[in-house]
Amino acid sequence: MIEVSHLRVAFGAGENQSVAVDDVSFSIPEATVYGLVGESGCGKTTILRCLAGLNRQWSGTIRIAGKTVGPVRDLAFYRMAQMVFQDPYGSLHPRHTVNTILSEPLVVHGIAGIGPRVSRVLAQVGLGESYRYRYPHQLSGGQRQRVAIARALILEPRILFLDEPTSALDVSVQAEVLNLLRDIQVEQGLTCVLVSHDLPVVANLCNRLAVMNQGKLIEELGVADLMSARAHSGYTQRLIAASAGYDRTLVGLDVD
């Protein structure tokens, strides 16, 4: 469904140039969830933004649903691939009601039957009609993220890009949103790319994952390997150990 080869993203020019993503290749089969894991600033979100068409300065090849896509995408692409952002407090327009937020994609794509479709998607993410005319500031973080997921789902996409969809939420709400995402993914057979630094979240949702560090893809592994800590590279092993809890002996090892 998604094939990326030799993707490279660099910001700035000349001496100040910093390479955010360096020669990354991977491919994701249909209806699977693929995780991109790594510490802050390793380039995982940049890859996601390139895939979603938000970042337009990259080189390499991206093939989505069998077609090579360029930096600028058309409406058909956006109808097929949608994105959920990290911070539900920032990703909903503060002066639009839930109804306006959810209608907007349908208006942009000229899809009829807005009213019933909004009701259906609200029910799908577990929010009732009573939330329809509220403003984002009247909702909790978890409810906002449900609205953001509903907005991504309303175009009935085949691909969902998830940018740390739970990291801004309370622990108790994280599980709810994760379950919702997994149910929807299974039900609709969506292909998902999940960016996260939270290994339990990745283990919960993903089929396969890629570990990244300083813009490079270190290794790919299955979820079973992650669960049993069977990683080949030293970096991945340290990442897994670090997520288990703080350990003083790891501190010195982290310097490569």
Contacts with other proteins: how many residues (CB under 8 A)? 37
Give 119's Cβ-side CA count (13 Å radius): 4
Q: What is the DSSP letter of 191?
A: E
Alpha helix ranges (H) inside the chain = 44-52, 75-80, 98-108, 114-124, 141-153, 171-188, 199-205, 223-227, 234-244, 248-253
Count Cβ atoms within 10 A of the Cβ of residue 252 and give its class: 0-12 exposed, 13-18 middle, 19 or more buried: exposed
- Minimum distance of other proteins from residue 10's CB (angstroms): 19
Q: In the set 16, 40, 68, 130, which binds other proteins (CB under 8 A)?
A: 130
74 binds other proteins (CB under 8 A): yes
Q: In the set 131, 177, 195, 208, which binds other proteins (CB under 8 A)?
A: 131
- Minimum distance of other proteins from residue 181's CB (angstroms): 17
87 binds other proteins (CB under 8 A): yes
- Minimum distance of other proteins from residue 128's CB (angstroms): 9
Asked if residues 251 and 234 have their Cβ atoms less than 8 Å apart, the reply is no
Structure tokens at 152: 């991504």
Scored b (16 or more CB within 10 A) or e, 65-99 reads: beeebeeebeeebbbbbbbbbbbbeebbeeeebbb
66 binds other proteins (CB under 8 A): no
82 binds other proteins (CB under 8 A): yes
Of 23-31, 85-93, 189-197, 199-207, the segment contacting other proteins by CB under 8 A is 85-93
Structure tokens at 162: 């998830």
Binding mask 92-111 for other proteins (x = CB under 8 A): xxxxxx-xx---xx--xx--
77 binds other proteins (CB under 8 A): yes
158 binds other proteins (CB under 8 A): no
**∠ at Cα 33 (1, 87), nearest 5°?**
110
Asked if residues 56 and 11 have their Cβ atoms less than 8 Å apart, the reply is no
91 binds other proteins (CB under 8 A): yes
Q: In the set 54, 203, 223, 241, which binds other proteins (CB under 8 A)?
A: 54
11 binds other proteins (CB under 8 A): no
In the complex, the residues that contact other proteins under the rule CB under 8 A are 52-54, 73-75, 77-79, 82-83, 85-87, 90-97, 99-100, 104-105, 108-109, 130-131, 133-135, 138, 148, 151, 155
